[in-house]
A and B are shown apart, each in its own frame.
Chain A
C-alpha cells in the first residue's frame, strides 16, 4: 500500500510539473494534446478520489496520513489550475476522443466558476482529511457534487 501511495505521489508531482510546462507553452499545445492531458489529469484526480472514497465507503481502513496525501494532491491538481488545457477547438465536435461539450466555450465564465467551486471543495477535503473518517465522509459529498455539476452540463455522454 505504501508503494502505491509513493507511486501516486510521484505521478502527481510529475503531472503537476507537466501541467506547469503546458501552462507556460499552452499556445503551442495542440487541441489533441490538450484532450490527452485533460484525460490523464482526470484519471489522476480519480485515483486520489479513490483513496478518499474507498475510506469513506468503508472499502479500506481510514488512514489519516494517506487521506491527507490524497487530499493535498487533489488541491494541487484541482481543476482551476487546468484552464490552459481547454483551448478552443478541443471540444467533442472537433475531436473524436473529446467529451468536452462545445457549451464550455460558449459559457466559459460559468465553466470557470464551476472549476473554481471544485477547487473550493478540494480545499474543504484538505482541511477534513486528517480529522477522522466522519469528516472525510462529510467532505466527500461536496466534492462529488462539484465534480458532478460540471459533468452534468459540460460532458458529453459516452
Chain B
C-alpha cells in the first residue's frame, strides 16, 4: 500500500512537472528578427491592418486621439472583464523600453517581456500568422506615437482564469500558425488570407468559439455570438453573405452596405482601419472571402 502511494505520488509529480513544462511560454528566438530593420511608414499600414488603436486607444478617443494608445477600454466577456493596457511609447506605463524581439513575442506569441502569458483577448492567435518583418515595422511605428502616462489596469478575471500559467494549456490547444483555409488560393486570395486570418483578425469575432474560448474553425467566419455584448456577429462566408466582391471592398472602404445601411458597432472601427489600406488589400480580402468554404446555418 505504501509502495502504491509512493508510486502514485511520483506519478502525480511527473504529471505536474509535465504540465508545468507544457504550459511554459514558447517565445520566438532572437534569430527570428535577424537582419530586420523596422520601417515606420510600412508599420503604419500594419498598425491599421491589425486594428491596434481600436482596442488600445482611450475609450473616449476620437479620430485625432486614436493614436494615443493609453488603453483603458473594457471588454466584458464570459471569462471576465479585460481592460486594454497602455501600449504607448511611454517608458514607464507603456512599451517605450521594449525591444523589437519583445514586441514581436508579445504580438505573435502572447508572451510578455517577463515571460508571462497574455490572455487571448489580445488576438495573438491570429497575429501568430503575421510576417515577423511586418511586426518589426509595426514596432518602429509604435515608437513614433505619443507617450501617454496612464497606468494599465489589471484585468477583472476570476478563478480559474486568473491563473495565467493555465493559458499555456489554452495555447497548446488553440494556438497554431497553420493557415485555416487549406485549399489552393491564387495570389490575390493569398494576400486576403494573410490579412483575414492574420493581422486583421476577422475570425476573432466572426467565428464561433467553443466552451474554452477556442476558435471553432470548422465554422470559420460563419458568424458567432457577440463576444463582448448583445447580439450576434454575422456570417461573412458566401453561405450567407451574397454581396459581390466589389460590394465587400466598397463596404470596407466606405462602411456602406449595398442597400446603403452603414457599418455599426465594432465594425465602425474596422472600416476606419481598412479604409487606410491600399485598394488592392480590400480587393484581396473580398476575393479571399469568396474563396472561404461557405458556412450555411
Contact = CB atoms under 8 A, between A and B. Distances in A.
Is B a genuine binding partner of A?
A: yes
A49 B269 CA distance: 21
A26 B68 CA distance: 44
Interface in A104-158: 140-141, 144-145, 147-149, 151-152, 155-158
Contacts of B232: 157-158
A89 interface: no
Contact of A152 (B230, B234, B250, B264): B264
B234 A148 contact: no
Given A49-B260, A50-B260, A157 B265 contact: yes
A104 to B, nearest CB: 13
B262 A50 contact: no
Interface string A76-110: 00000000000000001000000101000000000
Contact of A148 (B229, B231, B264): B264
B127 to A, nearest CB: 24
Contacts of B264: 148, 151-152, 155, 157
A42 B269 CA distance: 22
B263 interface: yes
A57 interface: yes
Interface in B97-112: none
Interface residues of A, number: 23
A53 interface: yes
A158 B265 CA distance: 10
B221 to A, nearest CB: 15
Contacts of A145: 255
B255 A144 contact: yes
Contacts of B256: 49, 53, 144
Contacts, number: 61
B260 A148 contact: no
B1 to A, nearest CB: 60
A156 B231 contact: yes
Interface string A33-50: 000000000100011011
B226 A157 contact: yes
A2 to B, nearest CB: 21
Contacts of B259: 46, 50
Interface in B226-277: 226, 229-234, 250, 254-256, 259-265, 268-269, 271
Given A46-B261, A49-B260, A101 B230 contact: yes
B132 to A, nearest CB: 33
Contact of B250 (A57, A155, A156): A57
A149 B262 CA distance: 10
A92 B269 CA distance: 22
A151 B233 CA distance: 14
A48 B234 CA distance: 25
Contacts of B231: 92, 99, 156-158
Contacts of A149: 268
A151 B268 CA distance: 8
9 contacts: A46-B260, A47-B260, A145-B255, A148-B264, A149-B268, A155-B265, A156-B230, A157-B231, A158-B231
Given A157-B264, A157-B265, 16 more contacts: A46-B259, A46-B261, A49-B256, A53-B256, A141-B254, A145-B255, A147-B255, A148-B262, A151-B262, A151-B263, A151-B268, A152-B269, A155-B264, A155-B265, A156-B265, A157-B232
Q: Lowest 7 CB-CB distances: which A-B pairs, in order?
A: A151-B264, A157-B231, A49-B260, A152-B268, A147-B262, A156-B231, A155-B264
Interface of A: 42, 46-47, 49-50, 53, 57, 92, 99, 101, 140-141, 144-145, 147-149, 151-152, 155-158
